[in-house]
Amino acid sequence: MNGATPVLDQDTAPPAAGNGKRPPQPPAGTGSRLMRRKPVERLVAEGGQGEGGTLRRSLGMWQLTMISIGATLGTGIFVVLGTAVPDAGPAVVISFVLAGLTALFSALSYAELAGTIPVSGSSYSYSYATLGEIVAWICGWCLILEYGVSVAAVAVGWGQYLNELLDGTIGVTIPASLANPPGDGGIFNVPALLVVLLCMAFLLGGAKESARANAIMVGVKIAALLLFCAVAFTGIKAGNYSPFMPLGLAGVSNAGASLFFSYIGFDAASTAGEEAKNPKKDLPKAIMLSLLIVTALYVLVAAIAVGALPWKQFEGSEAALAGIMKDVTGQSFWAVLLAAGAVIAIASVVLTVLYGQTRILFAMARDGLVPKTFAKVSPRKGVPVANTIITCAFCGVLAAAVPLAELADATSIGTLFAFALVNVAVIVLAVKRPDMKRSFTVPLSGVRVPLFGGLRVRLGMIFPVIGFGLCFYLMYKLPTVTWEVFGLWMAVGFVIYFAYGMRHSRLNGGTDDGSAEADASEAPAKG
């Protein structure tokens, strides 16, 4: 910041000139305004600050890990397995490994940036500090798609398991017209809306209280999956693994692209940067540990599931694991027990992903790119109340009205695009701020290799390069209709940015074109 304190709000006038009038400002070029960056130091300094209150730092490493696992574990297994297995056959196990490997390279980048820029905006804020405002907006807009649609997709599957539980316990089920989304035999998915509203009640209670409830639910879901493995293992038939890859490598890749949205948990953990007690130390650990645990469980459960049930019978099943338990044992008790675990597990995913969505909107509102209502924090609870209510209402209606398959793919493309930008952000920050103190770095970062012009770069940058490539490969494998939806979503986003965000950006204050901010972001950090 070079000794100057940047003006933080466009409504704050710069110091008056000698005649008492506002000094003339240089005209702001559109290109300069689009590429203005927000300095890392300023992002960190504003951590927790909202309109009328502040977020509370109450989350430790264990709670952050549980948020990661809560947002991840359950989605791909409990809900989407029934749509992924028909694409890949028994080789869906490889699809999970492919998606997990793609997530790993991006997780390394997330871990480095989360330890360096521990703020609520996650990849949106990382992009703002490195790639410029327009890229940050694109990333934030993708995150809104990723989180909002992910909540809806998972909530849809929750209704299927709820019906399994009700049928096995009291012999009553919710009619298909009220338990399924339109296009899938339903009129309005009431259970999907209900689980979102229940999670909203937890979130309004505070981050610490929500994290405590999530930790209990995560424990239940892990126990339920281990129980499934123990029971279903007795029903494995070797013939179910042959042919292992009936639809070839293309089928494995297609399933991996759809399953990737099951790995967004570590992104949710990074949104807790302003509510973590020691974010620079704990966030990288939580991100890597949660990804390891989740991938291991996904692969284990998938391998046992396709061994216990012929892959063609997964078609159209959104509660596949409960059905396998019932077929293997010949008793409904085990299926009911698993369904109960799934109801809790999927609720945990909805809770933590909604949490991440509200914190990203909070960061964008604080920067002025979306209405400041989303940045208002209750002084008593330390929670963005209005933000939470609006977000949950929107996601609840979306969950009740849109079919599952389209939701899952829309989430995947938004996730992959945001992750690709994070990989680029790590590289840019490594070049522009090589001496910045980092609590975590990608492997081989200590090894520097010379390039042209005397420039030396970290050998570890090969990992974000691979992560970037894998993200775009999986995006390429998604259906054309998903790209069309994504293009339409981006078009709407650009309209909103140029109509509202660009004019209300807090970087409009003072320099207007953001040049001072950009210069500050180039300066090496001290200490």
pLDDT (tens digit, 0 to 9) for every residue of the chain, 527 residues total?
344 433 333 333 334 434 444 444 444 567 777 888 888 888 888 877 878 778 888 889 999 999 999 888 866 676 677 778 888 999 999 999 888 888 888 899 999 998 888 888 888 989 998 998 999 999 999 888 878 877 877 787 787 778 878 887 888 888 877 777 676 777 788 888 899 999 999 999 888 888 999 999 999 889 988 988 998 898 898 888 988 998 888 889 888 877 876 777 777 888 888 888 888 889 999 999 999 999 899 999 999 999 988 888 887 666 677 778 878 887 778 778 877 887 888 889 889 989 999 999 999 999 999 999 999 998 888 889 999 999 999 888 888 877 655 556 667 788 888 889 999 999 898 888 887 888 888 888 777 777 666 666 777 789 999 999 988 887 887 788 888 888 888 999 999 999 998 888 888 763 333 333 444 444 434 33
Q: Are 153 and 264 in contact (CB under 8 A)?
A: no
Please report how many Cα atoms fall inside a 13 Å half-sphere around the Cα of residue 177, on the Cβ side: 0
Rounded CA separation 75/151 (Å): 10
DSSP for 450-517, written as a single string: E-GGG-EEEGGGHHHHHHHHHHHHHHHTS-HHHHHHHHHHHHHHHHHIIIIIHHH-GGGSTTSS-HHH
Rounded CA separation 21/2 (Å): 26
Q: How many CB atoms lie within 10 A of CB 433?
A: 20
Residue type, 177: S
Rounded CA separation 464/110 (Å): 10
Rounded to two decimals, what is the model's pTM?
0.81
Tokens at 466, concatenated: 């691979």
Residue of 73, 118, 82, 123 whose CA lies nearest to 100: 73
Give Cα 236 distance to the centre of its chain: 34
Residue type, 139: C
Burial (0-12, 13-18, 19+ Cβ within 10 Å), 217: buried
| Peptide bond just before 243 cis, omega within 30 deg | yes
3-state DSSP percent of the chain in helix, strand and coil, to 5: 70, 0, 30
Burial (0-12, 13-18, 19+ Cβ within 10 Å), 325: buried
Rounded CA separation 69/220 (Å): 12
Q: How many CB atoms lie within 10 A of CB 371?
A: 17
Q: Give the Å distances, CA to CA, from 443 to 111, 269, 440, 461.
A: 11, 21, 9, 9
Burial letters for 450-468: b for 16+ Cβ neighbours within 10 Å, e otherwise?
A: eeeeeeebbebbebbebbb
Which domains, and CATH codes, for the chain? 61-499 (1.20.1740.10)
Helix (H) or strand (E) holding 448: strand 448-450
Rounded CA separation 21/7 (Å): 17
Rounded CA separation 124/419 (Å): 10
Q: Are 279 and 273 in contact (CB under 8 A)?
A: yes
